[in-house]
Amino acid sequence: MIEVEDVSFSYPDGRQAVRGVSFRVRPGETVGLVGPNGAGKSTLLLLLNGLLGVPGRTGRIRVGGIEVEKSRLSAVRRKVGFLFQDPDDQLFCPTVGEDVAFGPAQLGLSEAEIAERTRRALASVELEGFEDRIPQRLSLGEKKRVCLAGVLACEPEALVFDEPTANFDPRGRREFIRLCRKLPQSKLIASHDLEMILALCGRVLVMDRGELVAEGPAAAILGDEPLMLAHGLEKPHSLLHPHPHGKMPVVEK
């Protein structure tokens, strides 16, 4: 679903943020992307839907089989939905309903289809009946779910999340994780919240200084303390003190 082949990227000031990165996300797979600040995670995510320009980039990126290049950006953006860290960057309409409908409206759908997709998307993030609410007056958790509904309303095949649980309170975080578990799309999730990554992701990629330095099953990678420490990360608590019954008490069902 996402194919990244030997991708490097330098910002216009010459700073090389991504160096020779290759990986794949298979259909339906949820993959975590971890690494210290400045590792190049956000840059890599922005390259995936062409938000960062192809000048400065080498290598090949395909999403749902479509090459990420200037002439195909609208097709790419139909395949992959982005959830940014700060919901205030993503919400700009006077009401929740208009915000969620914005994406589908760009796809040239009928009014009835737009309304139906908006209703379905709000239901899938458990915000039924929020259409007339004012985005700015919602809690962070609710705003984030409205953003997710806006992304889902475009019916993408892959989802890319940048720090989805940043600044959440524990309940908001648990609810978000529970909702994400129900989404069938392929997902790539960049975060410092390693417990969330462990709860959602089968596989994890570790980036440091622009390079992909490790890749493997989430518990094996995140549980590798020397690897975590070598790249400015910490082994998650739930792996330091495994639950006596072998279950990880990370997220309540």
Query: Smallest distance from the beta carbon of 42 to ligand ADP, in angstroms?
Result: 3
Q: State CA 189 to chain mean position distance.
A: 4
Nearer to ligand ADP, 35 or 156 (CB): 35
Find how far residue 139's CA is from the centre of its chain: 20
Q: Which is nearer to ligand ADP, 185 or 191 (CB)?
A: 191
Contact (Cβ atoms closer than 8 angstroms) between residue 208 and residue 221 = no
Q: 72: how many CB neighbours lie within 10 A of its CB?
A: 15
Determine the Cα–Cα distance for residues 14 and 233; give it in Å rounded to an integer.
Answer: 27
Q: How far is the CB of 208 from ligand ADP (least distance, A)?
A: 9
Closest distance of CB 114 from ligand ADP, Å? 34
Q: Which is nearer to ligand ADP, 157 or 208 (CB)?
A: 208
Pick 96 or 190: Cβ nearer ligand ADP: 190
For the bound state, the minimum distance from the C-beta of residue 224 to ligand ADP, rounded and expressed in Å, comes to 19
What is the Cα Rg of the chain in Å?
18
Amino acid at 248: M
Least distance to ligand ADP, CB of residue 161, Å: 13
Residue (of 166, 121, 168, 114) closest to 147 by Cα position: 121
- Closest among 165, 239, 166, 169 to 198, alpha carbons compared: 239
By C-beta, is 43 or 118 nearer to ligand ADP?
A: 43
Tell the smallest beta-carbon distance from residue 127 to ligand ADP (Å).
28
C-beta closer to ligand ADP: residue 55 or 108:
55
As beta bridge partners, residue 23 has 4
Q: Which is nearer to ligand ADP, 38 or 59 (CB)?
A: 38
Closest distance to ligand ADP from the beta carbon of 163 (Å)? 8
Residues, the chain? 253
φ and ψ of 169, to 5 deg: -80, 165
Residues found near ligand ADP in the complex (CB under 6 A): 11, 13, 15, 17, 35, 37-43
Rounded Cα distance, 136 and 122, in Å: 17
One-letter amino acid of 249: P
**How far apart, in whole angstroms, are the C-alpha atoms of residue 161 and residue 188?**
6
Amino acid letter, residue 110: S
